[in-house]
Every structure is written in C-alpha cells, then in structure tokens.
Chain A
Amino acid sequence: MSEEILRVQGLSKWFGGLQAVKDVNFSMQRGEILGLIGPNGAGKTTAFNMIAGFLKPNSGSVHFAGKDMTGHKPWDVCRAGVARTFQLSKPFGDMNVVENLMVGGFARHTDRSRNEARAFEIAEFLGLGDRARSEAQSLTAFDRRKLELGRALCTEPQLLLMDEVVAGATPSEAEEMVQLVRKVRDRGVSILIVEHVMKVIMSLSDRVIVFDHGELIADGKPADVVSRPEVLKAYFGENYDIAGA
C-alpha cells in the first residue's frame, strides 16, 4: 500500500521572467487521492501540465512508479500509465460517446471489438449508457466532463490527474462526480486532483497540498491544512486573522 507512485522533486518552471512553479517537492502513495489547491495563479495547472508532459520543466524531475518521466511527451506519459483530464473538457465533437471512449482504449489495445466492449462498460459506469451513440457535441457540459473522465479511464491509468472536475457543475452534479471519483479510486487508481471547490476537496482527498505563488506552502490532512495560518493568508489575505479574532 505504501508504494510510491509519483515523486516530484525540485520542479520549477519559468515563463519569461515569471517563475510559475518554484522548486516544488511532493510525492504520492499508490491508491491515494491527493488534492492540490491554491488561489488563482498559484501554479497548480502549470505543475499539473509538467507532470502530464504538456510542459517541459526548467529544472527538477518527475518520477512515476520509480521511472523518470521528466520532460517526456504526453503520449509517452499516457502509455506509462498516467492519464489526465482537462480543465475545459475537450470532447471529439463529431464522434459519438463510445467512439470517444474507444480512442482511449486504442492507447493500449489495437483490438477494435475489445475496445468497443470496454467503451460500453465505461459508458455504463459513468451513467452515460443511454447516450452511448450520441455525438459528443450534443452532450451537456457535465456529461462532457464525465466523458472526459471516461476517456482517461479507458487508457487504463494507474495515476489519474484531474483538473477542476466540478467547475461550473450544480451541487447535485458535483456530488455525483465525487461519488464517481471515489468509485474510480476503488478500482485501484491513484488520483491527483486540482480543485477550487473546497467542499469537494475536503470530502474527497486523503491528503492536501497547497500552492501559493508557485510554492508549496502546506502538506497534510485536509482538516489540518485548511486551518493553518499560511493557507488562510494565501486565500484570504494578510488581515484574515484580525477579522476572524
């Protein structure tokens, strides 16, 4: 259980003169749900993109299950067992739900009928079974998000990176997504989740790390982390403790 699935060491990224991520270190255990939070512009998505292979870090390393994946291309990262979702869901609009899911399956298997059967399974799992033959562009925003999650699952990941899964969702949809993410973890997938909605993070995460101005400022149990002064300061500003007192 305590096997390390992800290790991020000294990760840094510069955009021109701006350092978006500063020397970040953290690791994840297999089977863990790790929440990554922080105010807007804290460098969460940048760090996320470096792990997924969409950005090359200026320095530092990313190890996945003991293997160095630093600066590898997204498709290699995917084949190594790391899947991701996007903040803005990106369905293949003119393909139907099952075909969308099958693309994920082809990352590992060339057998079409196997991928199709698996895609139907995943569609059922997501509660999209009745829309399996609908074009992705006809889906609601939330269904697209679920489709995005399903596509990632079809690549059979060991680690799933999720970027803002409930942004714009209604409370009941958010609850449904939380249940889905739990079910995904029960299938043995470790999950790194970037999220703004505190309720979701608090109820899902085993552990939370907090970014502010590109630095990792806290790491611990969700309930402990949110009461730390440096985290409150990052979210609410310098004078928060005075107002609270």
Chain B
Amino acid sequence: MKTTIAAKSTRSGGLRLNQTTVLVTILLVLALAPIVVTDSFTLHSMIMVLFFAYMATSWNFVCGYVGQLSLGHAMFNGMGGYVSVLMFTQLGLSPWLGMLFGGVLAMVTAVLIGLPTFRLKGPYFTLTMIAFAEIVRIWIENTNEFAGIPLKGAEGLIVPNRGDDFWAFQFSTKLPYYYIILSFLAVALVATAWMERSKLGFCLKAIRGDRDAAEALGVNPTFYTSLAFAISAFMTAIGGSFYAQFFRYINPERSMGLELSIDMAVMSIIGGQGTVLGPLLGAAILTPIAEIARGEFGGGLLGLHLVVYGLALMLCVLYFPKGAIEPIRKLCLRYFGGNER
C-alpha cells in the first residue's frame, strides 16, 4: 500500500520528463528502423501501423481528452482524401497544398457539426456522429457528379501515376511514405503532449470530469470542445490525404466507412485514451493482429479482425480499463521510479 502511494506522488512530477524521453526514444527508434527493415512487405505493414497510430492520435486529441466517443471521424479522413485527390486531378494542385484545403474543410464541418452535437451526452453524441458520417458516405457513394465535380460514386477515385514526383506526393519506393507518415505522427504526438499541458488540455479534462463544475470554473465547454474537435478533424483529414496518396486510390467505403471510425476509436481506447502514447500503443497492438487476421482468413471469414477487436476491447475493459498503457506505465514507475525526477 505504501509503495503505491509513493508511486503516485512521484508520478506527475516524474512523468513529464519521462514522457518526453519515451516519446523521443520511440520516434528515434522508428526513424532508424528502415536501416534494419528493408523488405517491402514489412515496411508496408509498418507504414500501416504508423498510419493508424496517427489516425488514433488525431481521434484521441478530442475524444480521448473530453471523453466523448465519436464514431464518425472517418468522415474527416474521407474529406481530406477526396479534396486533395480532386484538386490534384481537376486543378493540377499539389496534394501537399490540397491536403490543407481538405483539412480546412474538415475543420469547418467539425465546428458546424460540433456546435449542436457536443451538447449531447454519451450514446446520443455517438449516434449523431455515426449518422453524419454515414450521410456523407452514402451521398458520395451515390453521386457520380456534383456541381461539375466528378465524385464517381462507389467506384472511387484513382490518382493518376506521375512516377517519382515529390510535388505530386508520389514515390516509387515505400521509404518516403514511411518517413512522411512518421513525421505526421511525430507532429501529432508532440501536439497532443503540448495540448495536454496547456489550458486547452486542462479545460477538456475538466469537461470530461464534470461539465457543470468546469463551467463554474470559467470553462466554456462549447468553445473548448469545438476548438479541439476542429484541430482533431484537421489532423484526421491530413491522414486521409496521405492514405489516398499512398494507395493512389480511394473509395467512400474504405476512406469514410464506419469501419475506419471504429478502428480509430478502438485503437485509442485499447491503448489508453486521454494519454499521449496510448493510441500509438493501441495501433501497434491491433494493426498487426488485424492484418494477420485479414491475411489468414481474408477469403472465408471477412471481418474476423473486428471479432479480434471485440475480444481485445473486452479484455481491455476487464483488466486495463485505463488502456494497455497503464500497466506499462506502472511497470516503468516500478523499475525506473528512482530515476524519474
């Protein structure tokens, strides 16, 4: 009992330094990993892990900290992908710029949706987000052309091949994609770590703790939630552009379907929502499992990875309600506790 109290008292003081160190170490290891990993399949798998880690981190930025479950974030991913691809094919604009437009569109949408829906609690918010995302998906799936823009419905959009061209966001090898998504992830993690310690982070956690009490302490919940939601939507949309460029193909089902929203949420929750590194851990655990399940049973048992998610989620809720990061954090405290301060 005494040790747990001691551990708790060192926690916040030590965690700061500790978290930064862990973050930097992880990023360094990931940056150096391609020296060892040279085969294309493993690199591809690692890109997918980083992509999902990035998406889960974006989701966590608002949902993890404010304690609302959004299952509609894939909508922002789709927006980012569609805007950057369409601007590239229709206007010849570099996806590097197009993704910013996609991000801004997602931000505006997030604020417009967030203002009325963030008042809703628990399942009502979740259902509303699913509804919005599904409306957008179904609309695009059934629209071939809108105001002269060829959305191509369920068929999806193909990004024309330009060979090895940085400005076209196209590379003939996997390695550049690896470093691009790693940089995105690094920015997202640093942004989360910064937010957690800023006024915004405290306000979000206060809203999660008790909305009335937060209001009484000068926190305008609508303002802070919308702000975080907008930033989260922007980051998610940027991820959508990456996804489109990496596969050179997007369709409504894959880039804005419910499954992607669930992926983002479940990875954050299993890893540890409301923590900086939790979503990364969740993605590192679940993405390989999902890939293997897809590979092994892909033909016969489509969707088996969702069963795996369900099982992982159940185990997590039972044994690590604060996410898989919690036992790791406790272990670190036990073994490195003395060095932390």
Report the bound CA distance from A112 to B193 in whole Å: 14
A155 lies within 8 A of B217 (CB): yes
B212: chain A residues within 8 A (beta carbon): 54, 74, 86, 90
| Shortest distance from the beta carbon of B224 to any chain A beta carbon, whole Å | 10
A92 lies within 8 A of B215 (CB): no
B12 lies within 8 A of A90 (CB): no
Report the bound CA distance from A91 to B212 in whole Å: 11
A75 lies within 8 A of B219 (CB): yes
B197: chain A residues within 8 A (beta carbon): 112
Residue A21 is within 8 A (CB to CB) of chain B in the complex? no
Q: A106-B203, A112-B198 are in contact. Are A92 and B220 (CB under 8 A)?
A: no
**Which chain A residues numbered 204 to 227 have a C-beta less than 8 Å away from chain B?**
none
Report the bound CA distance from A74 to B11 in whole Å: 33
A73 lies within 8 A of B213 (CB): no
B9: chain A residues within 8 A (beta carbon): 133-134
A92 lies within 8 A of B216 (CB): no
Q: A103-B203, A134-B8, A135-B8 are in contact. Are A93 and B216 (CB under 8 A)?
A: no
Scan A83-119; emit 1 where CB is below 8 A from any B CB, else 0.
1101000111111101100111011101010000000
Report the bound CA distance from A93 to B209 in whole Å: 6
* B contacts with A, residue count (CB < 8 A): 26
Residue from B13, B199, B213, B220 within 8 A of A106 (CB atoms): B199
Residue B249 is within 8 A (CB to CB) of chain A in the complex? no
A95 lies within 8 A of B199 (CB): no
- Which B residue sits closest to A111, measured CB to CB? B199
A92 lies within 8 A of B205 (CB): yes
B216 lies within 8 A of A74 (CB): yes
User: How many A-B contacts are there with CB distance less than 8 Å?
Assistant: 93
Residue A151 is within 8 A (CB to CB) of chain B in the complex? yes
B300: chain A residues within 8 A (beta carbon): none
* A contacts with B, residue count (CB < 8 A): 35
B203 lies within 8 A of A133 (CB): no
Residue from B13, B198, B209, B218 within 8 A of A94 (CB atoms): B209
Residue B214 is within 8 A (CB to CB) of chain A in the complex? yes
Q: A133-B9, A133-B12 are in contact. Are A103 and B216 (CB under 8 A)?
A: no
| Shortest distance from the beta carbon of A80 to any chain B beta carbon, whole Å | 10
Report the bound CA distance from A181 to B210 in whole Å: 24
| Shortest distance from the beta carbon of A108 to any chain B beta carbon, whole Å | 8
| Shortest distance from the beta carbon of A9 to any chain B beta carbon, whole Å | 23
A90: chain B residues within 8 A (beta carbon): 209-210, 212-213
- Which A residue sits closest to B223, measured CB to CB? A75
**Which chain B residues numbered 188 to 232 have a C-beta less than 8 Å away from chain A?**
197-199, 202-203, 205-206, 208-210, 212-220
| Shortest distance from the beta carbon of A193 to any chain B beta carbon, whole Å | 16
A103 lies within 8 A of B206 (CB): yes
B216 lies within 8 A of A83 (CB): yes
| Shortest distance from the beta carbon of A29 to any chain B beta carbon, whole Å | 24
| Shortest distance from the beta carbon of A33 to any chain B beta carbon, whole Å | 20
A103 lies within 8 A of B217 (CB): yes
Residue A201 is within 8 A (CB to CB) of chain B in the complex? no
**Which chain B residues numbered 248 to 277 have a C-beta less than 8 Å away from chain A?**
274
- Listed in ascending order, the chain B residues whose CB lies under 8 Å from chain A are 5, 8-9, 11-13, 197-199, 202-203, 205-206, 208-210, 212-220, 274
- 4 closest cross-chain pairs (CB), A and B: A92-B209, A107-B218, A90-B213, A78-B218
Q: Provide 18 A-B residue pairs closer than 8 Å at the C-beta atoms, listed in order of the A residue.
A: A54-B212, A54-B215, A74-B212, A78-B215, A78-B216, A78-B218, A83-B216, A86-B212, A90-B210, A90-B212, A91-B209, A93-B209, A95-B206, A103-B205, A104-B218, A110-B198, A112-B199, A134-B9
Inter-chain pairs besides A75-B220, A95-B209, 12 sampled, C-beta below 8 Å: A75-B218, A78-B217, A83-B216, A90-B212, A90-B213, A94-B209, A96-B8, A103-B202, A112-B199, A134-B5, A134-B8, A152-B217
